[in-house]
Amino acid sequence: MNIAIVGPGAMGCLFAAFLSKKEEVIILDKNEQRAKFINQNGIKIEGVSGNWQAKLRATTDPGEIANAELIIICVKSYDTKDAVKAIKNVISQDALVLTLQNGVGNIEIISEIAGSDKVIGGVTNQGATLLGDGHIRHAGKGETVIGRIDGKIPVQLRDIREAFNKAGLETRISRDIKGLLWSKLIINVGINALTAITRLKNGKLIDFDGTRQILRSAVTEAVKIAKRKKIKLIYDDPLAKVEAVCEATSGNISSMLQDVLKKKKTEIDFINNVIVREGESLGIPIPINSTLVHLVKTIESSYALRIENI
């Protein structure tokens, strides 16, 4: 299978490296210098899967991915629209586009540009941290779940599952990918913004009464929205699940905290702000998530003004 991965961030590099063991993989990057570096040096992996190197191609030319049967979108959610617009004219008639991004809303954005019949949603519990260009730490192994919003399972979806599993990426298909996306969203709602604001690792959020109470309130608001929208979550007790994830990933630095530490834009609009917008449209007050959104957006806007040391 010819596979193109758009965006060589932590997850893009992880999936590119694994899939290149068995498939033809090319990375599409908007950064020419970084693409050149990956072409010359490949991708370096350390962590739970050992220390190893993967050699593969990278390019800044969308035309070079025209033969891709599968295009995996791994850019930050706020870059989804621009990334898909850039490749729209080279997506072949039979190609499928898979999003493995954080938050909710990416499927809709990709569908508007590429057509809903081409889009696959995905949720992964693989963990990766970007250490440098083409250099990642594989922080944790986990299942990847893919599926179509309409619940159909075409042959191509089974082929993708087979390719991922052969490459060592444990993958299954779900008929309810929306429920899975919202289930993961609720975990991110509880963890990401709070870690970005407090600069605490995941596990520390439940060690302090203050952050634990805010986490519980943010998750409770999100669950209320999911129930009103009749979205079936995969956890019987979402709050207990979020706290269990905090414990299981206690040493992790969340992706949103990584963004804040690097003084970059965050994905807050695709995580906590999803709950705020849905609350507004449904007439449900969402005070905790609204406050978290305002605080993270203030942090983003004030990087140049922050006091680091006294």
Given this model, what pLDDT does residue 297 score? 98
Alpha helices in the chain (DSSP H): 10-19, 32-41, 80-87, 106-114, 155-166, 177-198, 209-228, 238-248, 255-261, 272-282, 287-301
Mean pLDDT of the region 266-288 = 98
pTM of the model: 0.93
Mean pLDDT of the region 209-238 = 97
Given this model, what pLDDT does residue 104 score? 94
Q: What confidence tier does 2 reach under pLDDT thresholds 50, 70, 90?
A: very high
pLDDT value at 308 more than 80: no
Given this model, what pLDDT does residue 202 score? 94
Q: State how far the Cα of 285 lies from the Cα of 279, in Å rounded to an integer.
A: 6
Alpha helices in 199-232 (DSSP H): 209-228
Cα 239 → chain centroid: 21
Q: What percent of the chain has pLDDT over 90?
A: 93
Residues 56/50, Cβ–Cβ less than 8 Å: no
265 is catalytic: no
Mean pLDDT of the region 204-223 = 98
How many Cα atoms sit within 13 Å of 279 on the Cβ side? Answer: 18
Q: State how far the Cα of 164 lies from the Cα of 272, in Å rounded to an integer.
A: 30
Q: State how far the Cα of 68 lies from the Cα of 111, in Å rounded to an integer.
A: 18
Q: State how far the Cα of 192 lies from the Cα of 301, in Å rounded to an integer.
A: 18
Nearest to 102, CA basis, from 256, 245, 252: 256
Tokens 């190609």 belong to 95
Q: What confidence tier does 289 reach under pLDDT thresholds 50, 70, 90?
A: very high
Per-residue DSSP letter, 72:
E
Mean pLDDT of the region 8-32 = 96
pLDDT value at 309 more than 80: no
Q: Which one of 85, 184, 232, 262 is the catalytic residue?
A: 184
Residues 128/64, Cβ–Cβ less than 8 Å: no
Q: Average per-residue pLDDT in the chain?
A: 96
Q: What confidence tier does 28 reach under pLDDT thresholds 50, 70, 90?
A: very high
Non-local (6+) Cβ contacts of 18 within 8 A are 54, 167, 168, 169
For residue 105 the two structure tokens come to 């809303």
Mean pLDDT of the region 208-224 = 98
List the domains of the chain with CATH numbers.
Answer: 2-174 (3.40.50.720), 178-305 (1.10.1040.10)
- List pLDDT tens digits, range 156-204: 999 999 999 999 999 999 999 999 999 999 999 999 999 999 999 999 9
Residues 116/149, Cβ–Cβ less than 8 Å: yes
Q: What percent of the chain has pLDDT over 70?
A: 100
- List pLDDT tens digits, range 48-89: 999 999 999 999 999 999 999 999 999 999 999 999 999 999
Mean pLDDT of the region 270-282 = 98
- List pLDDT tens digits, range 112-157: 999 999 999 999 989 888 999 999 999 888 899 999 999 999 999 9
